[in-house]
């Protein structure tokens, strides 16, 4: 063991002194550290809107702009008592007709902003991106515009159906106005229900979801992003429950029977969603952007990590073969398997150290850019209870799991370096193998049998969602587009994927061992 330790120390020193390794490592870690600050610049306006947004001043500005626009758009108003036959009875209604071009939008703005500035209590119900206030106002303005648009219809073209729709939209508008001025959820829900009865769906979330939101926010204090996230939790929970009740889940546009493993994940996901809903004040827009920044910084820097590991492993033997420095080790009274073991251990050490440092640099950069308090924990279920894993610890583990494919390509580079004296060949071929990572994804949309694709290396290297099945509840993965080693969506069980990777790594290293120990080195 003493000789292996000495050889290992020597290998670590040699690797750390290579200029190429120093340059690539420095660039990788600088990217991981600096990328969150770029994200901060991109999202800085969004993060500062709640602080710098003066609602009354903005509404007054919008009102002035609407009046100015109306001054440039001529329109006329006509009033008339119109008799409409409805249900076998005639009904005379006083109606208004507007005529003109491109004025409805600005007239609706003028009407709504004048009403709000006159009657809304900004001190009692400060808006400042408050969800209830802003959504009520938006619905109020939209319904008002819809009414003005309907009133551009000629008098003689208005019938019972038109009148029924106009009265219902008017009722919805009044409900939205009440929700806005009184700052209440129920009138908002009733307004949307009225529009839904007409086949008009102006709201992403159903009235039932909004009512459930009101139970945790009776005073309507939630800001816009937080409320949207909470309603998203409720909708995801309902979707999961429907899958559990039906026993079927869509996969590639086809129904698939829910397995026991998947059923357990869905049940636990609902527990986590309920937990997040009850602790809604800990999940802010800053937290979501911070998670995205950390994710993107690691994904971008991982390209450098792959190059770094392949460079280290690919030159481990081939460079010494080319320079002849390996002869001093071969002629020394040290068995070749000990030399091989020392080199392999040094490569594995660099793999683990580089991956952990990558995660730490990304976390530090994200924490400084967005605030460490905005880095939420990873949630999982143990013994029927939701458990919080600290963000730092979770992201280090996630990074290590995400880097498994990078480890494989480093092992492949190490194997190739045992066969050639040309470091460029071992490094180039190993990096070229990365192209294979995209092949199974492309073939998923073809007629290639799924069972064949499930046996490819790529299908068994994406372990993140298997080891961390609730990572999608930590951040919306649908918004993440940079995927070097993840996102392939294969459905192999975890045990088979682990076994596959162990056998694959063992095979590659066995070939490297056989070549290194039996190679004829003159």
Instruction: Give the DSSP letter of residue 102.
Output: S
Same domain, 266 and 156: no
Number of domains the chain contains: 3
Q: Is 227 inside any structural domain?
A: no
pLDDT tens, 408-463?
888 988 888 888 777 777 777 777 776 666 665 555 555 666 666 677 777 788 78
pLDDT tens, 33-81?
999 999 888 877 666 555 555 788 889 999 999 999 988 888 899 999 9
Residues 227 and 238: beta-carbon distance below 8 Å: no
Residues 65 and 73: beta-carbon distance below 8 Å: no
Query: Which residue from 15, 159, 7 is spatially nearest to 87, judged by alpha carbons?
Result: 159
Q: Is 226 inside any structural domain?
A: no
What's the whole-number mean pLDDT along residues 323-345? 73
Same domain, 389 and 493: yes
Instruction: Give the DSSP letter of residue 153.
Output: S
Same domain, 42 and 61: no
Same domain, 241 and 215: no
Beta bridge pairs of residue 382: 385
Residues 383 and 392: beta-carbon distance below 8 Å: no
Same domain, 18 and 153: no
Query: Which residue from 481, 314, 484, 459 is spatially nearest to 399, judged by alpha carbons?
Result: 484
Q: What is the pLDDT of residue 16?
A: 87
Mean pLDDT rounded to a whole number for the chain: 84
Same domain, 272 and 308: no
Same domain, 271 and 289: no
Same domain, 90 and 155: yes
Query: Which residue from 21, 41, 25, 23 is spatially nearest to 365, judged by alpha carbons?
Result: 41
Q: Where are the alpha helices (DSSP H) in 198-278?
A: 207-216, 224-246, 260-278
Same domain, 298 and 241: no
**pLDDT of 262 higher than 50:** yes
Same domain, 359 and 466: yes
Domain that holds residue 189: 54-127+130-220
Same domain, 347 and 254: no
What is the Cα–Cα distance from 511 to 310, expressed in whole angstroms? 17
Same domain, 364 and 450: yes
Instruction: Give the DSSP letter of residue 390.
Output: P
Q: Which residue has the higher pLDDT, 501 or 484?
A: 501
Q: Is 225 inside any structural domain?
A: no
pLDDT tens, 195-206?
999 998 877 889
Q: Is 337 inside any structural domain?
A: yes
CA 487 to chain centre: 12
Q: Is 228 inside any structural domain?
A: no
Q: Is 73 inside any structural domain?
A: yes
Q: Is 230 inside any structural domain?
A: no
Q: Which residue has the higher pLDDT, 175 or 20?
A: 175
């Amino acid at each position: 063991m003493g000789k292996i330790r000495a050889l290992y120390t020597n290998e670590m020193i040699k690797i750390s002194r290579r200029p190429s390794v120093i340059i690539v490592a420095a660039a990788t870690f600088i990217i991981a550290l600096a990328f969150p600050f770029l994200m901060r610049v991109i999202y800085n306006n969004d993060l500062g809107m709640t602080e710098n947004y003066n609602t009354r001043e903005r509404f007054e500005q919008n009102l002035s702009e609407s009046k100015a626009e109306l001054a440039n758009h001529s329109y006329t108003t006509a009033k008339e008592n119109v008799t409409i036959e409805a249900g076998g009875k005639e009904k005379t209604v006083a109606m208004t007709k507007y005529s003109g071009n491109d004025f409805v939008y600005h007239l609706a703005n003028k009407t709504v902003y004048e009403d709000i500035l006159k009657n809304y209590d900004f001190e009692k119900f400060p808006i400042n991106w408050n969800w209830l206030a802003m959504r009520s106002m938006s619905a109020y303005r939209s319904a008002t515009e819809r009414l003005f648009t309907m009133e551009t219809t000629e008098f003689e073209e208005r019938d019972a159906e038109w009148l029924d729709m106009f009265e219902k939209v008017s009722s919805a508008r009044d409900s939205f106005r009440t929700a806005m001025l009184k700052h209440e959820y129920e009138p908002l829900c009733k307004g949307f229900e009225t529009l839904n009865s007409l086949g008009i769906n102006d709201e992403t979330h159903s009235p039932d979801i909004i009512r459930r939101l009101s139970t945790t926010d009776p005073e309507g204090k939630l800001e816009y992003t937080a409320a949207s996230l909470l309603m998203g939790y409720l909708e995801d929970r309902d979707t999961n429950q429907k899958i559990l009740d039906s026993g079927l889940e869509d996969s590639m546009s086809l129904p698939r029977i829910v397995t026991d493993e998947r059923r357990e994940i869905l049940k636990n996901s609902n527990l986590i969603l309920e937990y997040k809903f009850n602790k809604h004040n800990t999940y802010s827009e800053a937290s979501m952007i911070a998670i995205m920044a950390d994710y993107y910084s690691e994904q971008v820097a991982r390209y450098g990590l792959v190059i770094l590991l392949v460079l280290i492993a690919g030159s481990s033997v081939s460079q010494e073969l080319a320079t002849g420095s390996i002869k001093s080790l071969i002629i020394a009274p040290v068995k070749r398997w000990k030399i091989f073991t020392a080199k392999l251990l040094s490569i594995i050490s660099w793999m683990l150290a580089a991956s952990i440092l990558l995660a730490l640099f990304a976390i530090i950069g994200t924490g400084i850019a967005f605030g460490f308090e905005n880095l939420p924990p990873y949630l999982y279920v143990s013994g029927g209870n939701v458990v919080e894993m600290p963000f730092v610890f979770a992201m280090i583990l996630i990074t290590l799991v995400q880097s498994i494919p990078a480890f494989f390509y480093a092992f492949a580079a190490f194997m190739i370096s045992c066969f050639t004296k040309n470091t460029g060949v071992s490094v180039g071929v190993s990096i070229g193998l990365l192209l294979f990572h995209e092949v199974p994804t492309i073939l998923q949309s073809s007629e290639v049998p799924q069972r064949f694709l499930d046996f490819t290396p790529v299908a068994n290297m994406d372990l993140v969602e298997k080891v961390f099945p609730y990572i999608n509840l930590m951040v919306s993965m649908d918004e993440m587009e940079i995927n070097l080693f993840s996102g392939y969506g294969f459905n192999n069980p975890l045990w088979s994927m682990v076994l596959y990777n162990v056998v694959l790594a063992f095979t590659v290293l066995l070939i490297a061992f056989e070549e290194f120990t039996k190679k004829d080195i003159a």
